Amino acid sequence: MDPMKNNGSRCRRSAFTLIELLTVISIIAILMAMTIAIISYAQDKAAEEKTKSVLIAVKAGLERYKDEYGEYPEPAENSGTGKSGSVALYQALMDDGDDEILGGPNEPSEGRTGENMFVDMKSKGFVDSEGSTYWIKDGYDRRIYYQVYDPENPEATNQTTYDLWSYGKDKGGNKADTDNEALWIKNW
């Protein structure tokens, strides 16, 4: 027996074949994909829970506001689209201006919380702004939508109170281009 031949065959046997290497890489890729999916799911659930807790806090603030003033704050533009409802929520609940609240003396927000604050969303990190416009945001870092029932504008779902919602996982920006209501987080 030739010792050189035997030694050469051992070297070939101790190396990985291309099939074995591709199998290991495939398994690692599958495990990474599963891990990323689990992390994404967990982040999505966390954002959903944060949004639900924001809505609960806002509802409590709205009830305190109604107890104080006898009615819910009505946005200047009460259509349920755009920023007006969210800005009106911020102004009413944080006592910071009232130019987006129907019937207010038209004072703009200054980014401060007033003395008659009904719920503190700012210290919890649920207030966002663009320039001098402030609004309450959800767990997805998008604004909360708000519409008060008005008999002259009967588009609101809750016919006695108000609609409060977040588009949740639905990526649309307003009611007109979001149609997957099952993904919304809402009070109706």
For the chain, percent of residues with pLDDT exceeding 90: 50
Residue 110 falls inside a structural domain: yes
Residue 79 confidence (pLDDT): 85
Query: What is the mean pLDDT of the segment spanning 47-68?
Result: 95
Query: What is the mean pLDDT of the segment spanning 101-124?
Result: 84
Give the model's confidence band at 3: pLDDT under 50 very low, under 70 low, under 90 confident, else very high: low
Task: Give 4 or 59, the one with higher predicted confidence.
Answer: 59
Residue 6 confidence (pLDDT): 55
Residue 27 falls inside a structural domain: no
Residue 26 falls inside a structural domain: no
Residue 154 confidence (pLDDT): 77
Q: Domain span at residue 61?
A: 36-186
For the chain, percent of residues with pLDDT exceeding 70: 89
Residue 134 falls inside a structural domain: yes
Residue 30 falls inside a structural domain: no
Query: 3-state SS of the chain?
Result: CCHHHHHHHHHHHHCCCHHHHHHHHHHHHHHHHHHHHHHHHHHHHHHHHHHHHHHHHHHHHHHHHHHHHCCCCCECCCCCCCCHHHHHHHHHHHCCCCCCECCCCCCCCCCCCCCCCCCCCCCCCCEEEECCEEEEECCCCCECEEEECECCECCCCCCCCEEEEECCCCCCCCHHHCCCHHHCEECC
Residue 33 has pLDDT above 90, yes or no: yes
Task: Give 11 or 186, the one with higher predicted confidence.
Answer: 186
How many domains does the chain divide into? Answer: 1
Residue 160 confidence (pLDDT): 86
pTM over 0.75: yes
Residue 147 has pLDDT above 70, yes or no: yes
Give the model's confidence band at 23: pLDDT under 50 very low, under 70 low, under 90 confident, else very high: very high
Residue 3 falls inside a structural domain: no
Query: What is the mean pLDDT of the segment spanning 9-31?
Result: 84
Residue 72 falls inside a structural domain: yes
pLDDT digits (tens, 9 = 90+) for 67-97: 999 999 999 888 888 888 999 999 999 999 8
Residue 50 falls inside a structural domain: yes
Residue 88 confidence (pLDDT): 92
